[in-house]
């Protein structure tokens, strides 16, 4: 029965969106938001119910069941990880709808349901992408996610930066999507199939890989890595996350970026994981190299930011790099650790964004320096923010800490990388908490703020002097006295329309619930056990095809005990959290220069769409090199 | 980055991609080959489902879930455009002036409009038989209405285009597809299963649910395109920025 | 020259990307993105071509006639819709960019750096 109902996880939000749009003009805001919440929650409940079922649910849409291992239809596959991701996305969507309950200033005239409807479509896109077992269908839902994402990012059209961020998001993601489609077409030419399991089987029928399979892998993975914001495909992410409405950031950072990582893992496991696909060494090299570079870039850039939402966005780049490393190890333990990490990270990061939204609503700014000490009277929010920062840093017993510990055990060099990235990103968040909520340290000296006034222009400092507009013949980096490029957060408009006095209960309770969720991931042993079994099944290339095409049920592997806290893991988590605290304290008293030494890296994040496209293409070249090595 | 640095990065990327893709092409099956396993199965299935237009059978029966996603993308894009091109504070609405149109254009538009509308509806209705279907026909219907804008003026278009009604139709079209899919579940089969009698091959009533899904999509697409164009037209003709307007007025006064 | 159609698809893709990266006008850039996407149509249809095959519509050809692959045609239709919607959405954003930034030259957009 669960098998048949699987499509409803995707379809219920779509129906909700249709109702909201159809009745838009006549529907009061309260009704619209209630309908949206109900649909999102129903879908979440369905996903959870399917997750509680005994085995992998396989649903052939239109009842086109396979005969002799082939079918003309599309299959939805509810294995543990896919369903888990759909459930996570749905739960976060419910959190977003609760958080934005009466949050926005005013819906567009006559379109009270527009925002909730877009959020529901976003949910449908993510759930469809998580559940589909068909490569082209995955592309369709990838694009649905993308289209809704651009619209939501640009939601605040009254301001200059959201439209720019949404444009960058739109261009880079669409380009990535088309690269994926080129790859799908190559696979179709070779195998004559579109279903992941079918393609995998056809490839395996002629073992040994060649240039076509490699090219298909590179192109398909490009779009997914753009979504996952892996360096050098990541440039759109900080631009989009810094400007999107805060409730949207919860989903973008908490789960959408992770769906990219999931897509890479899924495509590897089902299509390219067999003898006819890409050798494991090649895949591992691609994912680990890109993951390490992303993790370091994200962490360094995160530490540099003063725009709090942009800071959190870069920390997402860093953590997604860690997820890529965890997945790229291609071991069940690495994958299951990453799953726990993703769950914990979703809670922690979404809670941090939720707190930032409260700051913005109350104080009209998300600029670390401008807000210095102004959060003293909402210390409760400060406590939540600091806890979120500690969770990012991997403090036991948060789920992030458990996931980090499980992955770290896979190789001797991993603790250094994971510790450093966790400490830098967590430390940056703690630094913000100390400055804003405690008023610790000097109020940052900032010549621009005194010059700034109420004008819109100074929101980027120094960027306008970029010589590329002059002619491009000279060397830009030699200009000694040039100021660093920087995005400040001082001119954001409060999204509630007016400044609020007390943090509204729905917003606070969402932040608390999200943190509690992050804590639960690290404290409920059953979850870790289930994830371990799910990861084992996920990587079973032949088992997946058998379950989908031959109807041979693959349940969880009984007796495969989950990973749990070890002494060394807990100590490493405590260490990275302590390092984060030390870094934050040192930064607050001025011992650690927060800027200056990384200007070249910062200058690469130029906000220029042409640059981003050029880097995306360079990324495809890099992927080819790493794959074919 | 400087323009030159960007060109270097871009060139490296383009060369790498070109090499990769060219190498892949050399390993492709020869162009025009006879080996199309999925295609052959799709043709067989379409004939069994008594749907003469195989492409419609793939889109609305065999891979109907893709089309649900595709329709939702259009739906989402229209909703996104409504949100992005809304009238913001600081902008106000003006009534567009009537425009004069050469009589020949006017006569032609008025004459072609009903014909184009009819063709659009025909294309939607015959999706299961001949090339076309909900997407193509829906676009034809929507553009047919806009002949009024080309041939008469904006106000004439506005009279036949109450945007609220089209938004309702947009939602109903999307909802109808979803509900038609659920009918398969209720009938004890799978979601989006083709549960209706298949009818006679090569007649209007063939293909089971295919014509119904086509109609739902046609309705959604036609109204979606109308709403989409309405948003862009409003930006071009109706919505003015108060600041810019004030500046212009000031300049005019200065000149006088 | 049995690979020429595939190479053409690759060429269109790269040409579109080149235009996208070097564009000085956002509307032009949206057009370039559409060019990039049309590479996917060409590739899909080239992959599905069968020499001597006719359109996969059996209202006036008897069943059994060799036809080109209908699946890629269905995929191309989906792809076209995706392309049109993305174009519409990006153009809407360009309209707003013109209003908020006063320019449609990507070189002059400077809201987000570092």
Tokens matching residue B151? 């041939």
Considering only CB atoms, B69 lies closest to which of A140, A192, A618, namely A140
- Residue C29: closest CA among A448, A167, B64, A620: A167
Residue B53, helix vs strand vs coil: strand
The neighbours of chain A, by the rule of 3 or more Cβ pairs under 8 Å, are B, C
pLDDT(C55) > 50: yes
C75 and A487 in contact by Cβ < 8 A? no
Residue from the list C13, C22, C81 with its beta carbon closest to the beta carbon of B74: C81
Query: Token digits for A376?
Result: 């003293």
What's the pLDDT score for residue A103? Answer: 67
| Contact between chains at A613 and C43 (C-beta distance less than 8 A) | no
pLDDT value of position A471 = 29
pLDDT at A1 over 70: no
Residue B240 pLDDT greater than 90, yes or no: no
Write out pLDDT tens, residues A601-614: 888 898 899 999 99
Chain centre distance of CA A498 = 30
Interface contact B9, partner A, CB < 8 A: yes
Note whether B10 contacts A476, CB cutoff 8 Å: no
- Quick check: A214 and B20 CB within 8 A? yes
Which residues, in sequence order, are CB contacts of B134 under 8 Å at separation 6+? B60, B124, B127, B213, B214, B215, B216, B217, B218, B219, B220, B221
* pLDDT number for residue A364: 86
Specify the pLDDT at position B256.
63
CA of B77, closest CA in chain A: separation in Å?
Answer: 6
Residue given tokens 């800071």 in the structure block: A311
Tens of pLDDT, residues B102-135 = 999 999 999 999 999 999 999 999 999 999 899 9
Q: Which residues of B touch C55 (CB under 8 A)?
A: 131
Instruction: Label residue A449 by pLDDT band (50, 70, 90).
Output: very low
Question: Could you give the C-alpha distances from A7 to A4, A81, B68, B180, B194, in angstroms and in order?
Answer: 7, 16, 11, 13, 15
Contact A287, A350 (CB under 8 A): no
**What is the rounded CA–CA span in Å between residue A554 and residue A548?**
10
Which pLDDT value is given to residue A470?
28
Q: Which of A469, A426, A484 is nearest to A302 (CA)?
A: A426
By CB atoms closer than 10 A (0-12, 13-18, 19+), residue A598 is middle
Total domains in chain B come to 1
CA distances from A1 to A12, A45, A46, A107, A611 (A): 17, 15, 12, 40, 50
Q: Would you place residue A287 in the very low, low, confident or very high pLDDT band (cuts 50, 70, 90)?
A: very high
Residue of B nearest to A617 (CA): B13
The pLDDT-based confidence of A468 (bands split at 50, 70, 90) is: very low
In the block, residue with structure tokens 């739906």: B75
Distances (CA, A) of A120 to A16, A43, A95, A113, A528: 7, 10, 12, 10, 29
Tokens 């650690």, residue located: A592
Q: Which residue has the tokens 């527009």?
A: A114
pLDDT > 50? residue A469: no
To the nearest whole Å, the CA of A144 is away from the closest chain C CA by: 9
Confidence grade of residue A472 (pLDDT, cut at 50, 70, 90): very low
Task: Give the gap in angstroms from C-alpha B210 to the nearest C-alpha of chain A.
Answer: 12
**Rounded to whole angstroms, how far apart are CA atoms C106 and A612?**
11
Task: With a cut of 70, say whether residue A541 has pLDDT above it.
Answer: yes
- With beta carbons under 8 A apart, name residues in chain A contacting C56: none
**A88: number of CA atoms within 13 Å, CB side?**
32
* pLDDT beyond 50 at A295: yes
Please determine, for residue C79, whether its predicted confidence score (pLDDT) is greater than 90: yes
pLDDT given for residue A559 in this prediction: 52
Give how far B90 is from chain A: nearest CA, Å: 9
Q: Does B12 touch chain A (CB under 8 A)?
A: yes
Cβ <8 Å between A14 and B72:
yes
The range of the structural domain enclosing residue B57 comes to: 53-244
pLDDT of residue A446: 46
The Cα-based distances of A405 to A292, A570, A582, B17, B243 in angstroms read 17, 7, 21, 38, 57
Cβ contact (<8 Å) for B59 and C59?
no
Mean pLDDT on A533-548: 92
Distance in angstroms (rounded) separating the CA atoms of residues A510 and A516:
10
Q: Quick one: pLDDT at residue A107?
A: 64
Residue B63 CB contacts under 8 Å (≥ 6 apart), including other chains = A72, A73, A74, A136, A137, C71, C74
Which residues on chain B are in Cβ contact (under 8 Å) with A218? 20
Q: How far is B62 from chain A (nearest CA, A)?
A: 5
Task: Tell me the nearest-neighbour CA distance from A141 into chain B, angstroms.
Answer: 6
Check whether domain C4-51+66-105 has CATH 3.30.200.20, yes or no = no
Average of per-residue pLDDT across B8-34: 94
Q: Which two tokens stand for residue A364?
A: 């009209």
3-state secondary structure of A242: helix
Structure confidence at residue B155 (pLDDT): 86
Preceding amide of A232 cis, omega within 30: yes
Q: Could B39 and C86 be called an inter-chain contact, meaning their C-beta atoms sit closer than 8 Å?
A: no
Report phi then psi at A398, rounded to 5. -65, 155
Contact C33 A459 (CB under 8 A): no
Kindly report the nearest CA distance between residue A477 and chain C, in angstroms.
Answer: 14
The answer to whether A174 contacts chain C (CB < 8 Å) is yes
Sign of the alpha-carbon dihedral angle for A93, A95, A97, A99: negative
Would you kindly state where each structural domain of chain C is located, as residue ranges? 4-51+66-105
Taking contacts as CB-CB distances below 8 angstroms, the residues of chain B near C106 are none
Q: How confident is the model at residue A465 (pLDDT cuts 50, 70, 90)?
A: very low
Chain A residue closest in CA terms to C23: A610
Can you say how many angstroms the Cα of residue A160 is from the centroid of all Cα atoms in its chain? 24
- Give the per-residue pLDDT at A332: 93
For chain C, percent of residues with pLDDT exceeding 70: 99
Q: Has residue B166 been placed in a domain? A: yes
| Residue numbers of C between 45 and 84 with CB closer than 8 Å to B | 46-51, 55-59, 63, 66-74, 77-78, 81-82, 84
- What is the reported pTM? 0.93
* Rounded-to-integer distance, Cα C43 and Cα A460, Å: 42
CA distances from A148 to A23, A116, A294, C82 (A): 20, 11, 25, 12
Give the count of Cβ contacts less than 8 A between chain A and C: 151
Query: In the predicted model, is pLDDT for residue A150 greater than 90?
Result: yes
Q: B179 — contact with chain A (CB < 8 Å)? A: yes
Q: Do the chains contact at B130 and C57, CB–CB below 8 Å?
A: yes
Residue with tokens 């930066």: A161
State the Cα–Cα distance between residues A500 and A519, nearest whole angstrom: 29
Contact B52 C59 (CB under 8 A): yes
User: Which member of B39, B47, B73 has the closest CB to residue C71?
Assistant: B39
Structure tokens, A212: 């076509």
Read off the pLDDT of residues A546-592 as tens digits, 9 standing for 90 and up.
Answer: 999 988 765 555 555 667 888 999 999 999 999 999 999 999 888 77
pLDDT at B1: 78
Among B17, B55, B66, beta carbon nearest to C14: B17
**Chain A positions in Cβ-Cβ contact with residue B172 (cut-off 8 Å):** 18, 22
User: How far apart are the C-alpha atoms of B24 and A182, rounded to whole Å?
Assistant: 11
**Interface touch A617/C106, C-beta < 8 Å:** no
HSE (side-chain half, CA atoms, 13 Å) at A471 = 3
Q: Over range C43-62, report the average pLDDT.
A: 93
Q: Do C111 and A194 touch (CB under 8 A)?
A: no
CA nearest to A471 within chain B = B3
Å between A504 CA and nearest CA of chain C: 30
The pLDDT value given to residue A448: 41
SS3 category, B17: helix
Task: Measure in Å the smallest separation between the Cα of A8 and chain C Cα atoms.
Answer: 22
Q: What's the confidence (pLDDT) of residue A504?
A: 82
> Shortest Cα distance from B215 to chain C (angstroms)?
17
Model confidence band, residue B254 (pLDDT cutoffs 50, 70, 90) = low
The two three-digit tokens of residue A223, written as one number: 């779009």
Distance of CA B130 to the CA centre of its chain: 19
The vertex-A30 CA angle with A24 and A35, nearest 5°, equals 65
Mean pLDDT over the full length of chain A? 87
Which pLDDT belongs to residue A467? 28
Q: Under an 8 A CB cutoff, do C18 and B42 touch?
A: no
- Which chains sit next to B, with 3 or more Cβ pairs under 8 A? A, C
CB-based contact A215:C74 (threshold 8 Å): no
d(CA A95, CA A289) in angstroms, rounded, equals 34
> Is the CB of A460 inside 8 Å of chain C's CB atoms?
yes
Please judge whether C95 and B232 are an interchain contact, meaning their C-beta atoms are less than 8 angstroms apart. yes
Q: Which two tokens stand for residue B20?
A: 């990769």
Of the candidates A154, A155, A215, the beta carbon closest to that of B21 is on: A215
Weakest mean pLDDT among A69-78, A399-408, A480-489, C100-109? A480-489
Tokens representing A130? 């998580």
Q: How far apart are CA A626 and CA A628, in angstroms?
A: 6
DSSP bridge pairs for A67 = A70
Q: For residue B208, give every residue at least 6 positions away whose Cβ sits within 8 Å of its Cβ, in sequence order, or none.
A: B49, B50, B51, B61, B194, B195, B196, B197, B198, B199
* Closest residue to B9, CB basis, from A141, A192, A614: A614
**Mean pLDDT value across residues A524-545:** 91
For residue A281, give both structure tokens: 């060494």
Nearby residues of A612 by Cβ (< 8 Å), 6 or more positions away: A168, A171, A172, A235, A236
How far C41 CA lies from chain A's nearest CA (Å)?
9
Cα dihedral: A418, A422, A424, A429 (round 10): 170
- In this predicted structure, what is the pLDDT of residue A485? 66
Structure tokens that stand for A139 in this block: 């592309």
Q: For B211-228, what is each residue's pLDDT tens digit? A: 999 999 999 999 999 999
| B90 close to A (CB below 8 A) | yes
How are beta strands A460-461 and B91-93 bridged, if at all? Answer: unpaired
Nearest residue of A to residue C86 by CA position? A147
pLDDT above 90: percentage of residues in chain A = 68
Any domain includes B81: yes
- Strands, E, within B122-198: which ranges? none
What confidence score (pLDDT) does residue A481 get?
Answer: 35
Domain residue ranges of chain A, discontinuous segments joined by +: 2-445+485-628
The per-residue pLDDT for A362 is: 87
Per-residue confidence at A412, pLDDT binned at 50, 70, 90? very high
Model confidence at A210, pLDDT cuts 50, 70, 90, reads confident
Burial A103-140 (b: 16+ CB within 10 A, else e): bbeebbeebbbbbbbbbbbbbbbbbbbbbbbbbbbbbb
C91 interface with B at CB cutoff 8 Å? yes
- Counting one residue from A and one from B, how many pairs have CB atoms under 8 Å apart? 261
User: In sequence order, what are the residues at sequence separation of 6 or more whose Cβ sits closer than 8 angstroms to the Cβ of residue B15?
Assistant: A621
Cβ distance A22 to B175 less than 8 Å, yes or no, reads yes
Confirm or reject contact between B63 and chain A (CB < 8 A): yes
């Amino acid at each position: 029965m669960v098998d048949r109902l699987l499509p409803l996880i995707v379809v219920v939000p779509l129906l909700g969106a249709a109702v909201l749009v159809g009745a838009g003009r006549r529907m009061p805001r309260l009704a619209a938001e209630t309908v949206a919440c109900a649909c999102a929650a129903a879908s979440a409940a369905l996903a959870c119910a399917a997750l509680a079922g005994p085995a992998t649910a396989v649903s052939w849409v239109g009842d086109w069941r396979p005969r002799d291992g082939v079918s003309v239809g599309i299959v939805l596959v509810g294995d543990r990880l896919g369903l888990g991701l759909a459930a996570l996305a749905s739960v976060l969507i419910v959190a977003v709808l609760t958080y934005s309950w009466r949050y926005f200033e005013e819906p567009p005239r006559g379109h009270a349901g527009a925002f909730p409807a877009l959020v529901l479509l976003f949910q449908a896109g993510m759930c469809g992408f998580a559940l589909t077992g068909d490569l082209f269908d995955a592309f369709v839902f990838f694009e649905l996610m993308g289209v809704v994402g651009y619209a939501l990012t640009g939601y605040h059209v009254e301001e200059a930066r959201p439209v720019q961020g949404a444009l960058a998001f739109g261009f880079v993601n669409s380009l990535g999507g088309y690269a994926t489609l080129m790859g799908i077409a190559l696979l179709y030419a070779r195998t004559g199939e579109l279903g992941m399991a079918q393609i995998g089987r056809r490839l395996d029928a002629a073992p040994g890989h060649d240039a076509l399979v490699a090219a298909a892998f590179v192109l398909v993975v490009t779009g997914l890595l753009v979504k996952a914001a892996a360096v050098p495909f990541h440039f759109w992410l900080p631009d989009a996350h810094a400007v999107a409405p805060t409730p949207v950031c919860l989903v973008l950072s908490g789960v959408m970026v992770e769906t990219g990582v999931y897509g890479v893992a899924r495509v590897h496991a089902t299509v390219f994981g067999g003898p006819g696909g890409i050798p494991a060494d090649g895949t591992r090299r691609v994912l680990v190299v890109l993951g390490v570079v992303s993790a370091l870039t994200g962490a360094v850039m995160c530490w540099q930011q003063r725009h709090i939402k942009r800071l959190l966005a870069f920390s997402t780049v860093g953590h997604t790099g860690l997820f890529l490393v965890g997945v790229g190890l291609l071991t069940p333990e690495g994958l299951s650790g990453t799953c726990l990490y993703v769950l914990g990270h979703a809670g922690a990061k979404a809670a941090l964004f939720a707190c930032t939204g409260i700051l913005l609503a109350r104080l009209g700014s998300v600029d670390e320096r401008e807000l210095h000490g102004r959060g003293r009277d909402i210390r409760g929010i400060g406590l939540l923010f600091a806890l979120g920062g500690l969770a990012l840093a991997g403090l036991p017993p948060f789920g992030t800490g458990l996931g980090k510990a499980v992955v770290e055990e896979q190789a001797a060099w991993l603790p250094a990388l994971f510790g450093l990235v966790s400490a830098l990103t967590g430390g940056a968040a703690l630094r913000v908490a100390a400055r804003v909520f405690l008023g610790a340290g000097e109020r940052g000296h900032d010549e621009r703020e005194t010059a700034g006034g109420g004008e819109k222009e100074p929101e980027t400092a120094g960027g306008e002097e970029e010589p590329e507009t002059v002619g491009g013949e000279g060397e830009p980096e030699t200009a000694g006295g040039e100021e660093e490029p920087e995005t400040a957060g001082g001119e954001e408009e409060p999204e509630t329309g007016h400044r609020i006095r007390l943090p509204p209960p729905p917003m606070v309770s969402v932040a608390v619930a999200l943190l509690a969720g992050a804590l639960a991931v690290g404290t409920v042993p059953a979850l870790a056990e289930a994830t371990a079994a799910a990861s084992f099944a996920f990587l079973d290339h032949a088992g997946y095809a058998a379950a989908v095409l031959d109807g041979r049920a693959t349940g969880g592997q009984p007796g495969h005990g989950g990973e749990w806290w070890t002494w060394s893991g807990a100590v490493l988590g405590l260490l990275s959290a302590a390092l984060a605290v030390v870094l934050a304290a040192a930064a607050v008293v001025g011992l650690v220069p927060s800027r200056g030494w990384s200007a070249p890296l910062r200058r690469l994040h130029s906000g220029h769409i042409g640059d981003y496209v050029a880097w995306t293409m360079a990324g495809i070249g890099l992927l080819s090199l790493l794959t074919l090595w | 980055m400087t323009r030159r640095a960007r060109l270097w990065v871009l060139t490296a990327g383009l060369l790498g991609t070109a090499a990769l893709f060219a190498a892949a092409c050399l390993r492709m099956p020869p162009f025009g080959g006879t080996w199309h396993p999925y295609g052959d199965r799709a043709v067989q299935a379409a004939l069994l489902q008594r749907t003469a237009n195989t492409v419609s059978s793939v889109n609305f029966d065999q891979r109907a879930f893709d089309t649900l996603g595709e329709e939702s993308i259009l739906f989402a894009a229209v909703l996104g455009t409504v949100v992005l091109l809304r009238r913001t504070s600081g902008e106000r609405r003006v009534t567009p002036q009537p425009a004069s149109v050469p009589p020949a254009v006017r006569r032609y538009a008025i004459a072609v409009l009903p014909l184009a509308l009819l063709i659009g509806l025909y294309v939607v209705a015959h999706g299961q038989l001949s090339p076309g279907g909900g997407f193509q026909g829906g676009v034809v219907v929507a553009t047919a209405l806009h002949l009024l804008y080309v041939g008469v003026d904006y106000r004439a278009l506005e009279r036949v285009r109450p945007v609220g009604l089209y938004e309702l139709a947009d939602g109903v079209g999307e909802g109808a597809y979803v509900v038609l899919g659920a009918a398969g579940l209720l009938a004890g089969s799978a979601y989006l299963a083709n549960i209706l009698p298949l009818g006679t091959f090569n007649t209007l009533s063939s293909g089971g649910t295919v014509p119904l899904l086509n109609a739902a999509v046609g309705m959604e697409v036609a109204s979606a395109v109308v709403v989409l164009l309405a948003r862009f037209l409003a930006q071009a003709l109706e919505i003015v920025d108060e600041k810019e307007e004030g500046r212009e007025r000031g300049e005019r006064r200065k000149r006088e | 020259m049995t690979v020429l159609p595939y190479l053409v698809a690759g060429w269109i893709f790269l040409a579109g990307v080149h235009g996208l990266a070097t564009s000085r006008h956002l509307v032009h850039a949206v057009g370039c993105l559409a060019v990039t996407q049309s590479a996917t149509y060409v590739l899909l249809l080239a992959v599905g071509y069968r020499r001597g095959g006719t359109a996969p519509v059996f209202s006036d050809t008897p069943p059994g006639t060799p036809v080109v692959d209908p699946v890629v045609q269905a995929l191309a239709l989906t792809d076209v819709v995706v392309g049109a919607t993305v174009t519409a959405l990006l153009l809407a954003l360009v309209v707003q960019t013109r209003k908020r930034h006063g320019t449609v030259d990507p070189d002059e957009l400077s809201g987000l750096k570092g």
